[in-house]
Structure 1
């Protein structure tokens, strides 16, 4: 009958697991928005361009979709009023300017969600002319402007200029109008119009409000107050996704530009959009973690400016102007912050409730081979390591902390030095240009007032003064539209080598080229001077030169301002020069250019002298084509290609460090980074600093500085300190280990004594007591424990005590169910032997028998439970668990039986009687543990499985067998043992019959005590065949088989019994075996 099993109670751990699952589900639900997409619109303030790149990428990369939003981006334009559209609900979100403060006064209650542009992009551009060099010079000038330039108005007012009263010119967004002179200045965006001017090569000046202290925010993400109050979750999600989009756009500028060209607008070129991207990154800020930040103090400053302009009557900020950020994302974070401690508390509670399992797990981990073989460290080692753990990390921490702090300070100094060097390079280059521009403008003004002056020889004195006004000017010349050209130059060794007609003592040169006429022949008239104006030679030479075709001439004509050319090779000197050209206008008519050639030797020498460090290199290059403008080693600034002298570039310069910096800059797009030198592997900091807008050329100052120039000494000092610390620590550790060994030796002696006691080895030699009081008391206690346990072991079986000590089972009342293999043995006819033998002989034989059986059990890890007269009870798999306990029990039974056979042979030779051993084995789940009373305990096994083993031992007598095993033992070990079936039996206490077997040997063993003996396999096979016939009920066939077995093994008692069983001479009652 099958009993109905009650469901087990829900455990504490399972309950906690369910609670944790529920808490995690709630956390996930609280931290993730709904999946349904909410349709919203975004209104831009102008046409599609990089100015709105973050919103494009938020849409493209799915950031809006992940936030549960379906966003439509609407293009802006001159007729779109974003504030009006957002305030009236025509758009949910928009890009607004700082003028949002004025919108509040007009009843448009708009909220700034994020200040995307930390600076306003609005600037004033002027052509580079001497008469407009500051904002104050704009007084009385004409201005190309569009409505709404509040920050421009504030800048002008600060300089005393009434913005409203300035003469206005319609603004068509074309910088060429500025160059053409339609206005003196134009309001522009720093991200757009300067690109056109730089592409034209036009020099210009920029006046930014921030430089005048007008610190306005630029583009702001805004929404209506009604939207923020009605849908705070949606507003927060849109803002977060937009900021994320901006971070992505700025990190992937080229990909974003491609996206704009592909999906939004192709009106701008890719180069223009990339220029805009770089400028936009400056306005947004380089720190992507701070995108969108806004400061109430800055808004109050902006409001104060508006009040000063008379645009606001009160500079108090509206309470709802700045988004406070109290959105559901904050709520989700708060929920997470609450749930995390709760989860940790629950986990700690679970760990506390299961601390015993944790200890068991740690114990099992320690029993694993990798850990078990390691053993436990010695006390002396622990004391040494304790010192190391307490002192060395502190020293290392102090050293590392000092190194990091010092490194941070030195790196800060390095950055400052690099910045100063870069700035010095920019300023020095600008000085070269400005120092050249001034005399050129004077020449241009003279030519404009009297064009014929430069066609007479007296003009060369004026040009000589212009040439000698700066050491870096190599040539000064005035060229006219009719082809007439006059020049004054220096003469050096390079020029003398190039033209042998130049007198050896000449230092100066002046020449002029005739105007272009119908004559096919034009002549260059050259005059040479040693000391100006002392002539030392002259000659005329035919020429076809046309200055109008040289670089920069047409640019100056078109842009009507200073033109700076790209570097080119001076054919006379073989080194780079650049040309500056100032256009000459007589009224509105362009009549020519005043020009100068600048050698970069002066700048190269300056860069060589002014280094950020001894190993630093600073040079100037064109950021568009990579051409070297100035390099400390001027020989590296040029290269020969196919016999032609050319200017080197960053990609092909004969300097592997520079080439590597260029490659890394192109790869990362960063303006400051650390890279490794391909020459010696040292780390260098590369800094790329662009020349300011308006210079006329896209140049940059590049500084490469070895970090070790600044931190090298610190590194060397730290390495030396580390060596000294290691050396001192090594010496100190030697003395500490020596002292700790002397101190710990008595404790280790006590530990060894206790280990011997644990193994029940009581032969440990005594040692002199320690002089330390506490250790002496510990030694005394260990000695007392050894004596007590030795006495206790005299009354309790030593094996049981050893197993109990090693297993760690406490000596308290209690049992547990466990699957054991139980062993019973006794001697056949022991009572008869005890009556016939003398007591001394009986003691010898019984002691020998018990010794042999006990040793066989112990060798196979069994536990001897008790001796019952001549009987022995033992079991396996308790107290220590063994996975192969059934096979071990079979092995012990075979050893005991075969050892007793040898002992009997000896006894027989001595004239003593033989004693036949009988063994019974059974494996089953029984109760095992400490039983008895509180005063007397016995570690034993109880249960039906134990009784069956005892019955099997007794049943040997009936069948004449030695080792009788149950079917459960046979099933567990049939592949390893050789056994033969006996018969199905029913023992006392059992209602069903089961098959029993006689154990003969182990199959795969070579041990003489275990291996298969001669004819064992034949005996097993023949018995197996006969048993099958008997169990099948074919008694005649079974009888015949058993008789055949008797013919082969006449002494086989089992075969004789089974023959009788088959013929019916044995009563049927024998099938139920009486108790042994």
Structure 2
């Protein structure tokens, strides 16, 4: 709900703010402590006699006057400091190691000459300070050694001649620092929780202000779903985003009112996002067009009562429509038992020819299952669908009059697609595609070159291909038959009719239900007896539409 979402966001914001604030303040506390340590260690370094310090070299020098004076001075400064745990001096040996010189730490004193085995980079920098350096070096983060976890600072010690003799170091236990940080975080988290609790009533109030116009929007959207588009949207909100949603809803209804002038409704839903009034006009586009009809539908309609036929046809067209829409088709119109669809308008469709072929295969599969269902129900009824697919340039747009429009395609390629679909009747095939579609889909589907045909009403021959199935889904035996047929067709195209007959007779014998090789066989036998003209290029004029 909106309330839960608002409270959740408030909680997340409070947690985020708490984490950021505690991190920043923790850094501030550490930085202030480092500044304090650097001031303290600089003062200590200024009060240490570098010449005396240079006299303390070995553990035997701990009994010397110089050691005693240095120890007394450092101890005095440690006691004056607040929460200072360790004060010591160190020096770098000739071998590059770090040794203690004078240690007045509160616990675990290190004797002169004891090697410090874990020097940090900051400590090494301090021990290599250039002559005349008056700045202190502080550790950026707490460091751990054998005696605990410390926040440390160092300052160089110089002799009167300006030679670096070592450093004085100051340690403060990080335990106190971490304790301060923990207490602060607890305070911040408690305040954040209090803020969240205080924001809850505000969240309920804001959610209510948002929920009421959204509920009205839901009602208006339901009207759109039912195509009740004439009522005016009267929703007032001071929230800019909701007001924008109201405007978008009105734009949607305006678009629907325009496209409702021409049916089908599924096309109106496809074009709903355009948001403009429909106008007559069209544009040239390269689309893939789909035509289908039912074989022998006229004779079936004579045997069935009209109301019974309409029921079966409705069931059939529902399947066709679903398969087409699932593959992103624009279903143009139903012409009796026929369906016309296309891909590529009004919306862009990626690989339209591939989607059209997949839709055709899906339609045939679903129709086969529908026929099996009818047979299982005891019905003596089966629909056999013929499909033609073509890709080419057409005019697409709003055709008709101002009072009634249809978003459709027109042009020679539309007529050609209709002729291709009709050619299935002659060849005994289910799905035929043109060579322009074949070039787009050949790497995705198994096809068979059926003919180089001149279709009814056309003067130029085109290659027709039968769409067999998806790549890798066709049985090996079928692929061999296609390869044999393609070889025979090649021989036929080269006027080698006798050689082609030998292959085609074998195919007709093994696949008697396949009409394509039978037609080519009969044609080859005819050409053996009556050779075609010398300018013949393998084309064949279909005897009927």
TM-score by length of 2: 0.72
Deviation at residue 659 of structure 1 after TM alignment? 8.1
Deviations 1:711-763 (A, max 9, x none): 667634532332223432444465555555555444555566677778x5889
**How far does the alpha carbon of each residue in 1:810-866 deviate from its partner, in whole angstroms, 9 at most, with x for none?**
565566665533211124455666677654455445444433432332343322111
Tell me the alpha carbon deviations over residues 365-393 of structure 1, each in whole angstroms, 9 at most, x when there is no partner.
Answer: xxxxxxxxxxxxx7557645775798887
Contact 1:674 1:684 in 2 (8 A): yes
CA spacing shift, 1:574–1:1018, aligned 2, 3 Å: closer
Structure 2 residue corresponding to 1:886, chosen from 353, 365, 387:
353
Q: What corresponds to 2:144 in structure 1?
A: 678
Equivalent in the alignment of 1:960: 428
Match of 2:492 among 1014, 1030, 1049: 1030
How far off its partner does 1:702 sit?
0.9
Work out which of the residue numbers 126, 145, 149 in structure 2 matches 1:665: 126
Q: Helix, strand or coil for the counterpart of 2:144?
A: coil
The yes-or-no answer on 1:1039 pairing with 2:501 is yes
* Contact 2:149/2:173, CA 8 A, preserved across alignment: no
Shift in Å at residue 984 of structure 1?
Answer: 0.6
Aligned partner of 1:575 in structure 2 is 63
Summarize deviations over 1:857-903 as a string: whole Å, max 9, x none.
23433221112344311123444545454343223323434555666
Give the whole-Å Cα distance in 2 for the aligned partners of 1:575 and 1:851: 108
For 2:271, what is the secondary structure of its paired residue? helix
The answer on whether the counterparts of 2:54 and 2:165 sit within 8 Å (CA) in structure 1 is: no
Cα distance between partner residues in 1 of 2:30 and 2:494: 93
> Structure 1: which 5+ runs fail to align?
1-377, 434-563, 579-596, 640-646, 764-768, 1006-1010
- Report the counterpart of residue 919 of structure 1 in structure 2: 387
1:648 pairs with 2:113: yes
2:291 equivalent in structure 1: 824
Aligned counterpart, 1:866: 333
The alpha-carbon deviation at position 920 of structure 1 amounts to: 0.6
Q: Which of the residues 531, 537, 540 maps onto 1:1071? A: 540
Contact 1:864–1:874 (8 Å) recurs in 2? yes
| Partner residue of 1:603 out of 56, 59, 73 | 73
Label 1:415 to 1:850 Cα distance change in 2 as closer, same or farther (>3 A).
same
Distance 1:996-1:608 versus aligned 2 partners, 3 A rule:
same
Paired residues of 1:981 and 1:997 also in contact (CA < 8 A): yes
- Would the aligned equivalents of 1:825 and 1:919 in 2 still touch at CA under 8 Å? yes
> Do the aligned residues in 2 keep the contact of 1:822 with 1:923 (CA within 8 Å)?
yes
Note if contact 2:453-2:542 (Cα within 8 Å) is conserved in structure 1.
yes
The 3 A distance-change label for structure 1 pair 757 and 977 is farther
Map 1:384-399; keep pairs closer than 5 Å.
384=7
CA distance in 2, matches of 1:836, 1:963: 27
> CA separation in 1, counterparts of 2:282 and 2:155?
79
Tell me the equivalent position of 2:523.
1061
Q: Does the 8 A contact of 1:684 with 1:706 survive in 2?
A: yes
Helix, strand or coil for the counterpart of 1:706? strand
| 1:1028-1067 C-alpha deviation (Å, 9 max, x unpaired) | 2212221223334334433334444434432332204999
Determine the C-alpha separation between the residues in 2 that align with 1:852 and 1:402: 68
1:952 shift after superposition: 0.6
CA 672–869 in structure 1, closer or farther in 2 if over 3 Å, else same: same
CA offsets, 1:509-537, max 9 Å, x none? xxxxxxxxxxxxxxxxxxxxxxxxxxxxx
Matches within 5 A, 1:131-170: none
Residues 329, 341 of structure 2: 8 Å contact kept? yes
Name the CA shift for 1:946/1:404 in 2 (closer, same or farther; >3 Å): same
- Identify which of 605, 617, 638 aligns with 2:86: 617
Question: TM-score, structure 1 length as denominator?
Answer: 0.40
- Where does residue 796 of structure 1 map in the other structure? 263
Aligned equivalents of 2:251 and 2:121: distance in 1? 79
Question: In the alignment, which residue of structure 1 is the partner of 2:45?
Answer: 422
Q: Summarize the Cα distance change of 1:636–1:773 in structure 2 as closer, same or farther, 3 Å threshold.
A: closer
Distance verdict in 2 for CA 1:1023–1:732, change over 3 Å: farther
User: Alpha-carbon deviation of 1:1000?
Assistant: 3.4
CA distance in 2, matches of 1:812, 1:869: 27
C-alpha deviation, 1:953, in angstroms: 0.9
- Partner residue in 1 for 2:189: 723
Q: Separation in 2 of the partners of 1:1037 and 1:732?
A: 94
Write the deviation string for residues 319-372 of structure 1: whole angstroms up to 9, x where unpaired.
xxxxxxxxxxxxxxxxxxxxxxxxxxxxxxxxxxxxxxxxxxxxxxxxxxxxxx
Change (3 A) 1:381 1:755: farther
Q: Distance in 2 between matches of 1:574 and 1:786?
A: 97
Partner of 1:200: none
* Residues 866 and 730 (structure 1), Cα distance of their counterparts in 2 relative to 1, 3 Å cut: same
Partner SS state of residue 41, structure 2: helix
2-side partners of 1:567 and 1:911: how far apart? 115
Alignment-derived partner of residue 103 in structure 2: 631
Give runs of aligned pairs for residues 348-367 of structure 1, distance below 5 A.
none
Q: Distance in 2 between matches of 1:983 and 1:415?
A: 95
The verdict on how the C-alpha distance between 1:923 and 1:636 changes in structure 2, with shifts beyond 3 A counting, is same
Deviations 1:532-576 (A, max 9, x none): xxxxxxxxxxxxxxxxxxxxxxxxxxxxxxxx97236797x9623
Of 922, 940, 947, the residue aligned with 2:415 is: 947
Deviates more, 1:975-984 or 1:898-907: 898-907
Query: What is the rounded CA distance, in whole Å, between the counterparts of 2:8 and 2:207 in structure 1?
Result: 13
Measured in 2, the distance between the counterparts of 1:843 and 1:989 equals 32
Structure 1 residue 949: Cα displacement: 1.8
- Local SS of the residue matching 1:678: strand
C-alpha distance in 2, partners of 1:903/1:401? Answer: 70
Using a 3 Å threshold, how does the CA distance of structure 1 residues 944 and 635 change in structure 2: closer, same or farther?
Answer: same
Does 1 or 2 have the higher relative contact order (CA < 8 Å, sep 6+)? 2
- Structure 2 counterparts to residues 809-820 of structure 1, below 5 A: 812-813=278-279, 819-820=286-287
Tell me how far apart the structure 2 counterparts of residues 415 and 633 of structure 1 sit (CA, whole Å): 18
Distance 1:933 1:1060, change over 3 A: same
Structure 2 distance, partners of 1:930, 1:403, is 69
Tell me the equivalent position of 2:482: 1020
CA RMSD of aligned residues (A): 5.3
Q: Name the SS of the counterpart of 1:614 in structure 2.
A: coil
Confirm or deny: 8 A CA contact 2:90 2:99 kept in the other structure: yes
| Match in the other structure for 2:231 | none
Secondary structure, aligned partner of 2:466: strand
In structure 2, the partner of 1:854 is 321
Q: Contact conserved, 2:127 with 2:167, CA < 8 A, in 1?
A: no
- With over 3 angstroms needed to count, the CA separation of the structure-2 counterparts of 1:660 and 1:757, relative to structure 1, is same
Q: Report if aligned partners of 1:620, 1:629 keep a CA contact under 8 Å in 2.
A: yes
Question: For the Cα contact (< 8 Å) 1:621–1:702, is it kept in 2?
Answer: yes
> After alignment, is 848-857 or 668-677 more displaced?
668-677
Q: Secondary structure at the match of 2:328?
A: coil
Assess if the C-alpha contact under 8 Å between 1:575 and 1:638 holds in 2. Answer: no
- Displacement of 1:958 in angstroms is 2.8
Distance in 2 of aligned mates of 1:746 and 1:1075:
66
Following superposition, the deviation at residue 928 of structure 1 comes to 4.2
